[in-house]
Structure 1
Amino acid sequence: MNKIGIIGGIGPESTIEYYRLLIKTFRERLNTNQYPEILIQSVDMTEMLNYVFTNQLDELVAFLKSKIKILEKSNVDYIALASNTPHLVFDKLAESVNTKMISIVEETSNAIKTTGIKKVGLLGTKSTMSKGFYQKSGEKNGIKIVIPNEENQNYIHEKYMGELVFNKIVPETKKQLIRIINELQVNENIEGIVLGGTELPLILEQEDFDKLKVFNTTKIHVNAILNKMLN
Structure 2
Amino acid sequence: MKTIGIIGGMSWESSAQYYAIINRAVRDRLGSPHSARILMHSLDFAPIAQMQADGEWEQLGEAMAGSARALEAGGADCLLIATNTMHKLADEVEEACDLPLIHIADSTADAVCEKGLTRVALLGTAFTMEQDFYRDRLEEHHGLDVIIPDNDDRAEVHRIIYEELIAGEVRDTSREAYREIIERLVDQGAQGVILGCTEIMLLISQSDSPVPIFDTTELHALAAVEFALS
Query: Scaled by the length of structure 1, what TM-score is found?
Result: 0.95
> Displacement of 1:161 after TM fit?
0.4
Q: 1: distance between equivalents of 2:118 and 2:137?
A: 13
- Maintained 8 Å contact 1:52/1:86: no
Superposed CA offset, 1:116-140 (max 9, x none): 1000101111101111222112212
For residues 110 and 91 of structure 1, what CA distance do their matches in structure 2 show? 20
1:68 positional shift: 1.6
Partner amino acid for 2:127?
A: S
Aligned to 1:163: 164
Q: CA deviation at 1:163?
A: 0.4
Hey, what does 2:65 align to over in structure 1? 65
Give the structure 2 partner of residue 30 of structure 1: 30
Contact 2:65–2:92 (Cα < 8 Å) also in 1: no
Q: Report if aligned partners of 1:51, 1:60 keep a CA contact under 8 Å in 2.
A: yes
Shift of 1:73: 1.1
User: Pairwise mapping of residues 211-222 of structure 1 onto structure 2 (< 5 A)?
Assistant: 212-222=211-221
Structure 1 residues 51-93: Cα deviation after superposition (integer angstroms, max 9, x where no partner): 3222222211111111221111112110111111100121233
CA distance in 1, matches of 2:64, 2:134: 20
Q: 1:205 aligned to 2:218? A: no
| Residue 71 to residue 96, structure 1, CA distance change in 2 (3 Å) | closer
Partner residue, 2:17: 17
Report the TM-score when normalising by structure 2.
0.96
Q: 1:225 is aligned with what amino acid?
A: A
Within 1, Cα distance between the matches of 2:117 and 2:91?
A: 25
Per-residue CA distance 1:154-203 (angstroms, 9 max, x = gap): 111111100011110111110011101101111x2100000001110111
Aligned to 1:176: 177
* Greater Cα shift, 129-138 or 78-87: 129-138
SS in 2 for 1:169: coil
Distance in 2 between residues matched to 1:101 and 1:48, nearest whole Å? 21
For 1:191, the equivalent position in structure 2 comes to: 191
Q: How many correspondences in the alignment? A: 229
Deviations 1:91-116 (A, max 9, x none): 23312322111111111112111111
Tell me, yes or no, if the aligned pair for 2:68 and 2:93 is still in contact at 8 Å: no
Shift of 1:7: 0.8
Unaligned runs of 5+ in 1: none
Task: Write the letter of the residue equivalent to 2:101.
Answer: M
Aligned-pair identity (%): 29
Which secondary structure state, in structure 2, belongs to the residue aligned with residue 36 of structure 1?
coil
Q: Does 1:106 align with 2:94?
A: no
Give the aligned partner of residue 45 of structure 1. Answer: 45
Instruction: Give a deviation string over 1:19-58, Cα, whole Å, max 9, x none.
Output: 1111111101122322122111110112222332222222
Partner Cα separation in structure 2 for residue 114 and residue 92 of structure 1: 29
After TM superposition, give the deviation of residue 228 of structure 1 in Å.
0.9
Letter matched to residue 27 of structure 2: R
Give the drift of 1:209.
2.1
Amino acid aligned to 2:36: P
Residue 88 of structure 2: aligned partner: 88
1:78 alignment counterpart:
78
CA distance in 1, matches of 2:228, 2:175: 34
Q: What residue identity is the alignment partner of 1:170?
A: R
Deviates more, 1:141-150 or 1:53-62: 53-62
3-state SS of paired residue (1:137): helix
* Structure 1 outlier segments of 4+, above 4 Å: none
